[in-house]
Structure 1
Amino acid sequence: MTPGGGSGPMKDCEYSQISTHSSSSPMESPHKKKKTAPRRKWEVFPGRNKFFCNGRIMMARQTGVFYLTLVLILVTSGLFFAFDCPYLSEKITPAIPAIGGILFFFVMGTLLRTSFSDPGVLPRATPDEAADLERQIDIANGSSSGGYRPPPRTKEVIINGQTVKLKYCFTCKIFRPPRASHCSLCDNCVERFDHHCPWVGNCVGKRNYRFFYMFILSLSFLTVFIFAFVITHVILRSQQTGFLNALKDSPASVLEAVVCFFSVWSIVGLSGFHTYLISSNQTTNEDIKGSWSNKRGKENYNPYSYGNIFTNCCAALCGPLSPSLIDRRGFIQPDTPQLAGPSNGITMYGATQSQSNMAAATPLLQSEPSITSEELPLPGKTSLSGPCATLTLGQPTPPSSMPNLTSDTGLTDMIPLKEEHEGHQFLTPEEAPSPPGMLPSGSPITHSHTMHVLSLASQDSLHEDSVRGLVKLSSV
């Protein structure tokens, strides 16, 4: 092979330049994480609801009757504006279609506002909040020493001198506020729950009740308005061409009159009923159950009534609109690790399953003061700055014949025996209680875990007597 030759083995052996812009090596690919778009809360909402327009529209799942409501209003109003209004505006006044248009748009606006909004859904408790609430109830009932016990169903509060019971919702894991109830169709607890209305396709509660009332009230006016002027149209035509010819000339008017006639009674009756409820500051749910009486002298008087019809109406229709509590368009925050609270050496036998799992997954000594090498000599160390040796629970290291500070020294050499010091009581790893599911027998644990197995009451005496033992060893 010649040094400067262009042929030979060196011709075939060429160096290729490594591109820095190429794809990552196989060693780096496992460390790369795909960036996923943040999800919104409505995508994982636990209730039985449907969302549209990226969570801006919230409805119940059963919306078939709602579409029927839309069709009836749109078809009846459309036929009225197409076939009756031209004749009426020419014969009577152009104000008729103008007033009808205002009523129509007001009805549609309040209907969509009622159907597409949050009725006042209460957020469900997180697993940690539910476990903490149940633990507090168990402690208040004196049942923390036993196993899991379901919380009581009621809690009493006093509102304006009247005792009101708050019921516990086992689905949402919360105590429902006063006047709240759980809707079985939407599977949500709704604040100031009135009823679930299939005609609007949503629950009626605190945040959309005023719009629901304005919808049925304006729909009553629109229905009466259309029915009255349809009859007027038929009468005017029958005076010119006869009744039968008038029906033949305007068949759409006949259809409008039939629809309005059969619907006006229920709509007007519903409007009157809710007017009574607003004037007495009650809900449909409370009125059906007979929860309150309108008379102040009785024992079950209504604590929410202001005692004045005008004030009750203003409170229901003109009060401030409370914000939504579920934040359905907010982004889901990534889970952050949470440290367990101070255990203080107490076994959590009365805690719930989620609390026990959290405690088992969290190091038990994270929230306790760390023990330095200057406070207590550690077994299995060649020097005070060396690492701790592992110790198997249930198999303590046997004591050596000559106590020293070599690497063969066991844990029992550092702790004075019961025969030598009768005045002090210590707990060996076999005697220390171990909470179930937290420190299984036979598993290797470090020195920090071994020190935690000893009860809290014996740790102070252990430190003091260990120092005394060191003094005796140094004197020997």
Structure 2
Amino acid sequence: MTPGSGSGPMKDCEYSQISTHSSSSPMESPHKKKKPAPKRKWEVFPGRNKFFCNGRIMMARQTGVFYLTLVLILVTSGLFFAFDCPYLSENITPAIPAIGGILFFFVMGTLLRTSFSDPGVLPRATPDEAADLERQIGNTEDIANGSSSGGYRPPPRTKEVIINGQTVKLKYCFTCKIFRPPRASHCSLCDNCVERFDHHCPWVGNCVGKRNYRFFYMFILSLSFLTVFIFAFVITHVILRSQQTGFLNALKDSPASVLEAVVCFFSVWSIVGLSGFHTYLISSNQTTNEDIKGSWSNKRGKENYNPYSYGNIFTNCCAALCGPLSPSLIDRRGFIQPDTPQLAGPSNGITMYGATQSQSNMAAATPLLQSEPSITSEELPLPGKTTISGPCATLTLGQPTPPSSMPNLTSDSGLTDMIPLKEEHEGHQFLTPEEAPSPPGMLPSGSPIIHSHTMHVLSLASQDSLHEDSVRGLVKLSSV
């Protein structure tokens, strides 16, 4: 519109229309609130662990020694491939660097697989599960102790199960609020219960348990071969060079060989010894934790024989190294499921407490749509009233009970005209749906009830002019 066209009132009218259209109602927010992004379970994990790559990598919190392991392997292998392999490949065989490369990649792969995986952490009990378990434990201890005495401390919380004829105690974990399965233990460094717990290894930066023990064993075994391989061929390189140019000149020509020999010499004993120890554990189907505590004996005839051993070295090795890998129980990359919000009540001014929507629908529509001899309904508060005194009474002849959300309507007119009733000698009942004609616009008996409040029933009944007086009385009473 141009400034010279139209009159003043017209401009005001248009201005008010634009202003009303642009203003937002008080019930609507001008900016929609963004829903918070769902969190993954690793972000709120209760244990002392570190996660990387969106929860795909799981490690212990203390990883300094793990980085030292990486540096030692990478530096020693790198020096070997850079200073020794060219001479050995030229003077002996090209297979030496090829075999060394295969061993190196196998060592690195098993190390990272051991360090970055879930060792078999057991999920902690939810608050409801913990409360229920505490209640069961309390009842059991009260029964065992008789009456709860003042200064008496209950015995340790344990359960006993029988595995292959051997009694095994399941201990209660006060941190995770669970009874630990057999062979499980709580790691104090990671603050987790680990299934088939072997030990916490700082060199790999993780616990060693059911899900990564085979990779740990293959790591130390392959590392033993790599260490022996590097040490042997470093010595061979130095000897061959010393035969040509002398020992001192050989050291000057390849100074890295000295460093490699020193590192391998001091580490080969511990690595090879550790590999032999775990080979013994696998052959007897034991864990480091059980062996240190002396839990089981290898002799079958003794009382504390190992119930987990198959009695055969080959079978024990196959069970530990070739069995199926169990899935992770903590689902660290799964999303946290928020609590399901409760459905809001109807927004027609009538607030409902203590009853579901279906119950309120049934209470409102039953007198007009049901053919039951007696009914009850939930108490629903009305505007201006706190409670209803009691449930509906038994239906009698000529006196149908009004909806539970309204007062008694027998003193006013005419609700009896809406549904004709029939007298019977044995009792008073509504007519069957075939015998009682339904008013226009009402649902037939047996159809699903979808109305959310009584006023909707009134709007249906108001379509029939024959019930005008009854509807007027209902509306009058409902406004009280």
TM-score (norm 2): 0.69
User: CA separation of 1:333/1:378 partners in 2, compared to 1, >3 Å: closer, same or farther?
Assistant: closer
User: CA separation of 1:427/1:23 partners in 2, compared to 1, >3 Å: closer, same or farther?
Assistant: closer
Does structure 1 conserve the Cα–Cα contact (< 8 Å) formed by 2:359 and 2:378? Answer: no
Deviates more, 1:191-200 or 1:16-25: 16-25
For residue 135 of structure 1, report the CA deviation from its aligned partner.
1.8
Corresponding position: 1:340 with 2:344: yes
Deviates more, 1:28-37 or 1:402-411: 402-411
| Structure 2 match to 1:269 | 273
Q: How does 1:4-403 map to 2 (within 5 A)?
A: 6=6, 11=11, 14-15=14-15, 18=18, 25-29=25-29, 33-137=33-137, 152-336=156-340, 372=376
User: CA separation of 1:220/1:373 partners in 2, compared to 1, >3 Å: closer, same or farther?
Assistant: closer
* 1:195-243 C-alpha deviation (Å, 9 max, x unpaired): 0000000000000000000000000000000000000000000000000
For residue 14 of structure 1, report the CA deviation from its aligned partner.
3.9
Higher relative contact order, chain-length normalized (CA < 8 Å, sep 6+): 1
Distance 2:147 2:458 in 1: 26
Does structure 2 conserve the Cα–Cα contact (< 8 Å) formed by 1:144 and 1:350? Answer: no
For residue 473 of structure 1, report the CA deviation from its aligned partner.
26
Distance 2:76 2:69 in 1: 11
Deviates more, 1:396-405 or 1:85-94: 396-405
Distance 1:338 1:293 in 2: 57
Does structure 2 conserve the Cα–Cα contact (< 8 Å) formed by 1:180 and 1:189? Answer: yes
Distance 1:43 1:249 in 2: 53
Does structure 2 conserve the Cα–Cα contact (< 8 Å) formed by 1:294 and 1:301? Answer: yes
User: CA separation of 1:345/1:437 partners in 2, compared to 1, >3 Å: closer, same or farther?
Assistant: farther
Give SS of 1:62's match: coil
Give SS of 2:59's match: strand
Give SS of 2:20's match: coil
For residue 36 of structure 1, report the CA deviation from its aligned partner.
1.4
User: CA separation of 1:91/1:287 partners in 2, compared to 1, >3 Å: closer, same or farther?
Assistant: same
Give SS of 1:470's match: helix
Aligned identity (percent) is: 98
Query: What root-mean-square deviation, in Å, do the aligned CA atoms of Structure 1 and Structure 2 show?
Result: 13.2
Give SS of 1:342's match: coil
Does structure 1 conserve the Cα–Cα contact (< 8 Å) formed by 2:395 and 2:428? Answer: no
Does structure 2 conserve the Cα–Cα contact (< 8 Å) formed by 1:60 and 1:186? Answer: yes
Deviates more, 1:425-434 or 1:19-28: 425-434
User: CA separation of 1:372/1:212 partners in 2, compared to 1, >3 Å: closer, same or farther?
Assistant: same
Does structure 2 conserve the Cα–Cα contact (< 8 Å) formed by 1:134 and 1:150? Answer: no
Does structure 1 conserve the Cα–Cα contact (< 8 Å) formed by 2:84 and 2:237? Answer: yes
* 1:39-67 C-alpha deviation (Å, 9 max, x unpaired): 11101100000000000000000000000
| Structure 1 match to 2:420 | 416
| Structure 2 match to 1:459 | 463
* 1:13-36 C-alpha deviation (Å, 9 max, x unpaired): 642654999795442129954311
For residue 301 of structure 1, report the CA deviation from its aligned partner.
0.5
* 1:299-349 C-alpha deviation (Å, 9 max, x unpaired): 100000001100000000000000000000111111137999999999999
Distance 1:249 1:416 in 2: 116
Distance 1:459 1:159 in 2: 76
For residue 134 of structure 1, report the CA deviation from its aligned partner.
1.6
Deviates more, 1:74-83 or 1:442-451: 442-451
Give SS of 2:379's match: coil
Distance 2:308 2:440 in 1: 50
For residue 192 of structure 1, report the CA deviation from its aligned partner.
0.1
* 1:75-99 C-alpha deviation (Å, 9 max, x unpaired): 0000000000000000000000000
For residue 465 of structure 1, report the CA deviation from its aligned partner.
38
User: CA separation of 1:29/1:263 partners in 2, compared to 1, >3 Å: closer, same or farther?
Assistant: same
Distance 1:167 1:322 in 2: 22
User: CA separation of 1:167/1:375 partners in 2, compared to 1, >3 Å: closer, same or farther?
Assistant: closer
Deviates more, 1:350-359 or 1:281-290: 350-359
Deviates more, 1:419-428 or 1:138-147: 419-428
Deviates more, 1:26-35 or 1:216-225: 26-35
Does structure 2 conserve the Cα–Cα contact (< 8 Å) formed by 1:380 and 1:410? Answer: no
Distance 2:178 2:11 in 1: 80
Give SS of 1:13's match: helix
Distance 1:78 1:315 in 2: 36
For residue 105 of structure 1, report the CA deviation from its aligned partner.
0.1
Give SS of 2:383's match: coil
Distance 1:168 1:433 in 2: 68
Does structure 2 conserve the Cα–Cα contact (< 8 Å) formed by 1:340 and 1:359? Answer: no
User: CA separation of 1:230/1:166 partners in 2, compared to 1, >3 Å: closer, same or farther?
Assistant: same
For residue 280 of structure 1, report the CA deviation from its aligned partner.
0.4
Deviates more, 1:209-218 or 1:20-29: 20-29
For residue 415 of structure 1, report the CA deviation from its aligned partner.
34
For residue 433 of structure 1, report the CA deviation from its aligned partner.
51
Distance 1:351 1:130 in 2: 30
Give SS of 2:369's match: coil
Deviates more, 1:337-346 or 1:90-99: 337-346
User: CA separation of 1:474/1:391 partners in 2, compared to 1, >3 Å: closer, same or farther?
Assistant: closer
User: CA separation of 1:130/1:373 partners in 2, compared to 1, >3 Å: closer, same or farther?
Assistant: closer
TM-score (norm 1): 0.69
Q: Which runs of 4+ in 1 moved over 2 A?
A: 1-27, 30-34, 136-152, 336-476
Does structure 1 conserve the Cα–Cα contact (< 8 Å) formed by 2:231 and 2:265? Answer: yes
Does structure 2 conserve the Cα–Cα contact (< 8 Å) formed by 1:429 and 1:450? Answer: no
Distance 2:167 2:181 in 1: 13
Q: Mark the runs of 5 or more structure 1 residues left unpaired by the alignment.
A: none
Does structure 2 conserve the Cα–Cα contact (< 8 Å) formed by 1:400 and 1:410? Answer: no
Does structure 1 conserve the Cα–Cα contact (< 8 Å) formed by 2:379 and 2:404? Answer: no
Bigger Rg over Cα: 2
For residue 380 of structure 1, report the CA deviation from its aligned partner.
13
User: CA separation of 1:179/1:13 partners in 2, compared to 1, >3 Å: closer, same or farther?
Assistant: same
Deviates more, 1:457-466 or 1:322-331: 457-466
Distance 1:165 1:231 in 2: 53
Q: How many correspondences in the alignment?
A: 476
| Structure 2 match to 1:435 | 439
Distance 1:433 1:273 in 2: 90
* 1:408-464 C-alpha deviation (Å, 9 max, x unpaired): 999999999999999999999999999999999999999999999999999999999
Deviates more, 1:424-433 or 1:343-352: 424-433
Does structure 1 conserve the Cα–Cα contact (< 8 Å) formed by 2:439 and 2:464? Answer: no
User: CA separation of 1:21/1:163 partners in 2, compared to 1, >3 Å: closer, same or farther?
Assistant: farther
Deviates more, 1:370-379 or 1:298-307: 370-379
Distance 1:267 1:134 in 2: 45
User: CA separation of 1:5/1:275 partners in 2, compared to 1, >3 Å: closer, same or farther?
Assistant: closer
For residue 38 of structure 1, report the CA deviation from its aligned partner.
1.2
User: CA separation of 1:465/1:261 partners in 2, compared to 1, >3 Å: closer, same or farther?
Assistant: farther
